[in-house]
């Protein structure tokens, strides 16, 4: 095979992959699957699609090997093919913000201008979790939390936050996170918490970014989904010495 045919074939495969993403709903489905494995029915509900349309979109994504599936009883479960797919999606989001004024404008007006404080970055959140001086809440749907979440985080889906807010301590900061840097749930959760007098900030990224960085995650519900006790300075000093 000569070099021209090799190049043509490679460009054709890359174009096929790009073409598979030429649908907003397919990009949304990938974004949902980056949170963890889901059934077709669950994806359809979250994306506002019929089950048949969801299956068709997933078939296209599977055709270019961006997603994989398995059967369990009468249900089909889908997941991203590997971490490279999640990383690609994050890079795509970052690239469009850098190159497309419309995206940057939306992010600035909807996210950044609503933040009274700077969001917490990945390194800071890791340090504070290690010290035990922060409460981290996962405001994604419970099914996503159960699939995978930041180790030690509490499941507090946005729609249940008001009812559960009284369980959160006011004597330490709260960091809320959701699907990624462009997920509105964490923004809304922080606004609600601040109105009730909580020291709340949002995580600047999301679960996929945290997991891809190799930071601790957990699957399934935590053994107890209660607020952990605050470490005393003395106890922290003894562990460090």
Element (H, E) at 150: strand 149-150
What sign for the dihedral angle of Cα 149, 150, 153, 158?
A: negative
CA distance 111 to 123: 20
Integer angstrom CA distances of residue 136 from 57, 167, 171, 174, 231:
34, 13, 14, 6, 15
Identify which of 221, 178, 228 has the alpha carbon closest to the alpha carbon of residue 203.
178
Residues present in the chain in total: 241
For residue 148, what are the contacts with CB-CB under 8 A and spacing of at least 6?
35, 36, 207, 211, 217, 218, 219
Residues 178, 186, 190, 204: which is the catalytic one?
A: 178
CA distance 67 to 33: 8
Identify which of 18, 92, 27, 32 has the alpha carbon closest to the alpha carbon of residue 57.
27
178 catalytic, yes or no?
Answer: yes
CA distance 213 to 126: 11
| Catalytic (active-site) positions | 178
């Amino acid at each position: 095979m000569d070099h021209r045919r090799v190049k043509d074939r490679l460009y054709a495969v890359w174009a096929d992959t790009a073409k598979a993403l030429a649908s907003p709903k397919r990009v949304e489905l990938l974004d949902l699957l980056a949170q963890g494995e889901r059934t077709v029915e669950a994806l359809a509900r979250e994306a506002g699609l019929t089950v048949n349309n969801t299956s068709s979109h997933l078939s296209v994504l599977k055709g270019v090997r961006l997603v994989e599936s398995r059967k369990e009883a009468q249900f089909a479960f889908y997941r991203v093919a590997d971490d490279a797919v999640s990383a690609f999606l994050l890079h795509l989001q970052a690239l469009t913000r850098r190159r497309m004024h419309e995206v940057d404008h939306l992010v600035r007006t909807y996210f950044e201008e609503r933040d009274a404080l700077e969001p917490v970055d990945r390194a800071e959140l890791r340090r504070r979790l290690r010290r035990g001086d922060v409460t981290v809440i996962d405001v994604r749907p419970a099914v996503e939390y159960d699939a995978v979440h930041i180790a030690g985080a509490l499941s507090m889906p946005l729609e249940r936050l008001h009812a559960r807010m009284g369980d959160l301590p006011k004597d330490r900061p709260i960091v809320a996170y959701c699907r990624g840097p462009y997920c509105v749930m964490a923004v809304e959760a922080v606004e609600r918490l601040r109105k009730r007098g909580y020291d709340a900030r949002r995580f600047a990224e999301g679960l996929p970014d945290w997991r891809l960085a190799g930071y601790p995650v957990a699957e399934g519900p935590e053994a107890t989904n209660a607020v952990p006790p605050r470490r005393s300075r003395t106890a922290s000093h003894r562990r460090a010495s």
